[in-house]
Structure 1
Amino acid sequence: MDLQTTTYLVVGASFALYIGIAIWARAGSTSEFYAAGGQVHPIMNGMATAADWMSAASFISMAGLISNMGYGGGLFLMGWTGGYVLLAMLLAPYLRKFGKFTVPQFIGDRFYSKSASTVAVVCLLTASLTYIIGQMTGVGVAFSRFLNVSSDTGIYIGQAIVFLYAVFGGMKGITYTQVAQYIVLICAYI
């Protein structure tokens, strides 16, 4: 079997695994769809969070920054990591305490203001779009290399896979696929 066929098989098997995990862990209620029903073990939650941090946007862009800027690029990596952990530690407990699923819900209720909630939505959309652009660019680059397709086609393939496991599994399915991604990434790093 040649290398290209082996690559297609491995990539296809990983897609099938992620979609299979999402179907296996599919959400049975609204709470499971949005917040995994609060039933994910803390270690698995940490693994899922780490996989998100080690994703294409972080991994490719940070590696590029360090390669291009040397030590100065490494400082961005520390700031990115520290900010991510700090945000999670300072915000997550309050979301849970207030029983809210999203930051805009929390901000709106906490400050009794629709305007504050709107500002939170705009900030989150800006940050999310910036992150997703880097993420999808990384996916397009990776898939164009492995599958011998254009970068744009790689982006569409990545979007389709993410769409499928998000729709089938909700947050519960996404969390478990992120755990699987964590295991793959840790093995790749090692």
Structure 2
Amino acid sequence: MDLQTLTYLVVGATFALYIGIALWSRAGSTHEFYVAGGGIHPVANGMATAADWMSAASFISMAGLIAYMGYGGSVFLMGWTGGFVLLAMFLAPYLRKFGKFTVPEFIGERYYSRTARIVAVICLIVCSVTYVIGQMKGVGVAFSRFLEVDYDIGLYVGMGIVFVYAVLGGMKGITYTQIAQYCVLIFAFTIPAIFISLNLTGNPLPQLGL
């Protein structure tokens, strides 16, 4: 079996897994669509959040910034990671406590202000568009490289898969898909680190290599 056929099989199996997860966990109510029914185990939720951090924005954008800018580029990595921590500590728990589905809803209710709600909407749109642009760029680059197609085709293929499992499963489907992605990414991160450590130090664990 040649490398191209193997690539198509692996990528196809990944697509099938994501769509299968979306069908299995498809949302049956608004509560499930927006907040996964509130029944996701904390460990599983942590895995999904970690997978969101280890996405194209980290794999390609942050790695590219550090490669291009050197040590100074790591500042962006700290800000990117710190944003996730701040969100998890200061916003997510209260959003759940208030029983709201979106950040603007929570902000508007919490501060009794329509103006605050509008500001939250604007901030959310700016952050989301910036994030999605980076993610979609990563999707196009990755799929065009793996499938050996044009960038535009790779982008549309990736967008199509995301659209299917997001619409079918809502946040519930996205969460379980992210958990599967977490397992793949941790494996992809760990194996090279172990072999690089073995190569440089003779120790299987990078920490021992230090």
Moved more, 76-85 or 34-43: 76-85
Q: 1:46 maps to what in 2?
A: 46
CA distance in 1, matches of 2:160, 2:178: 16
Q: 1:93 maps to what in 2?
A: 93
Point out where structure 1 has 5 or more consecutive residues left out of the alignment: none
Q: Deviations over 1:54-84 (max 9, x none)?
A: 1002221110011112211122212211121
Corresponding letter in the other structure for 1:180 = A
Aligned-pair identity (%):
76
Q: 1:67 maps to what in 2?
A: 67
CA distance in 2, matches of 1:107, 1:77: 27
- The CA deviation at 1:131 is 0.4
Q: 1:122 maps to what in 2?
A: 122
> What secondary structure, in the 3-state scheme, does the structure 1 residue paired with 2:91 have?
helix
Q: 1:30 maps to what in 2?
A: 30
Q: 1:81 maps to what in 2?
A: 81
CA distance in 1, matches of 2:74, 2:116: 34
CA distance in 2, matches of 1:167, 1:80: 27
* Structure 1 length-normalised TM: 0.97
Moved more, 108-117 or 31-40: 108-117
Moved more, 137-146 or 84-93: 84-93
CA distance in 2, matches of 1:52, 1:7: 24
CA distance in 1, matches of 2:102, 2:150: 36
Structure with greater contact order relative to length (CA < 8 Å, sep ≥ 6): 1
Q: 1:135 maps to what in 2?
A: 135
CA distance in 2, matches of 1:83, 1:121: 18
Q: Deviations over 1:113-141 (max 9, x none)?
A: 22211111111001100000000000000
CA distance in 1, matches of 2:84, 2:12: 31
1:103 aligns with 2:103: yes
Please tell me whether Structure 1 or Structure 2 has the larger radius of gyration of its CA atoms.
Answer: 2
Moved more, 79-88 or 7-16: 79-88
CA distance in 1, matches of 2:119, 2:152: 32
- The CA deviation at 1:149 is 1.0
1:172 aligns with 2:167: no
- The CA deviation at 1:87 is 1.8
CA distance in 2, matches of 1:75, 1:127: 18
Runs of 4+ in 1 over 3 A off after TM superposition: none
CA distance in 1, matches of 2:168, 2:12: 18
In the alignment of these two chains, the number of paired residues is 190
Point out where structure 2 has 5 or more consecutive residues left out of the alignment: 191-210
1:189 aligns with 2:189: yes
Q: Deviations over 1:141-187 (max 9, x none)?
A: 00010001111111111110000001111111110000000000011
